[in-house]
A and B are shown apart, each in its own frame.
Chain A
């Protein structure tokens, strides 16, 4: 009991302790704010990638694609762990709009809007046909025209507040889309003729996935039309990937392994078929692995930031060390008395460790509260800064970021608080050890009193 009383007494009576608490609070405040924002951005980015991809992808990087996908889709649909399956065509195309002298290289994705919305979050990214995904490729101004869904940044331009100038209905714009038709052997179909497949599509909707690269370079077409354009239709049809969504109770890893096992079996069955060689390049990946190149970059930045904060946090350890060193050198008589009445070395260390724990806890508490308050108002503060001083944390016309993420994550907070307490304990370790090993006979000598 005396340990608790003394620890609290030192905390209240020794004003120098407030500086240690202040240093911890400052550090915790900054780390909470920065990490909450960064974690929010990373989680948001991951979620958008997950929505874009679905849970799992069976696909190939080769633009030739792979055959017999329909049979595999049927196998997948018969299983009890899969909720949605969507085969897609992926390729590059050259598009040019009516009246424009310029043509743009874009990526195209051919899909069935209903199936794809069942496997991914595609349906939720639409604007005009959100409630009726089946009509995503039917322009509202003429449903008989072949439609295309544009990545939102190809269709609209964001303003300074990251808002798009949505119109009541899509503008009647036609796009000429040209693709390379490839043979199953990977050669250019019609190469001798110097021709590519070209078709005109009309702007029917736009997709806002929230992923800058996707929204600025992807044009969605109807599966069959994209298949024709890319030369993948014919007696043996081909696709580039199959997107899969698992049922809610299925864990991603387990689901992916089941799909991989089904794919291996399917591949073996098809070994003797004419285009079986195309199946060799097909991989089965979870959504995170499929989008690793993009996600890893953000995760690394978060790691680097954490490492930098760890470096700066060393100063806090130093502060706690100095404060404890001071307190212990001033309280050598207390320690001498405690030891002279039989308190062990371990108890002394425990007493000061408890004190350090209190400093860490109090500092973290103050820092957390300040961080929470700041995060609560962070978007308002940014708006105010933008209105008054034209300052934005991120220029929304450049970055595809909406509001600054301010949802505190319990896991992150726990790690920060534990780190702060550990830093305090580390800072107090050497002074505590010195206190524990001091000899009462020396500290309580008359000459020392």
Chain B
């Protein structure tokens, strides 16, 4: 039970400062879940993101469910996800109720302009930190470069990239297995 509450509370804290949705959650997860709590490894977080891209639903919710389920089963999955959406939902309800022109407010816009830059830099910094764990060989560099370029300059959907990359990984693994058998 303590574990379930801990899950809820840890994700609630992350949800409260997670500006910009799923991707913005990566630096927070790296800090809170990997470094501080030890609930998942860096590799697992990356796997969760990859799976979150090609399974239906909001990515941040998928990732929360993965971590929560690993730690505390189905109850853990609900606790982590509920935690993640708890504070953002309250904030939205308050804003929708009281502040009709919240997003047009000049102070909100100015503060947000700083936060937006910061979140992007945080995300890029998290990528630099996770690089070694995720890109281990030439094939990895190739997949990374190809997906990055294509996703920046085309409108191909993320789930297509994820599915293709998984297939490439599978085939490359098979080829090296066959080569290994011959030796």
Same complex for A and B? Answer: no
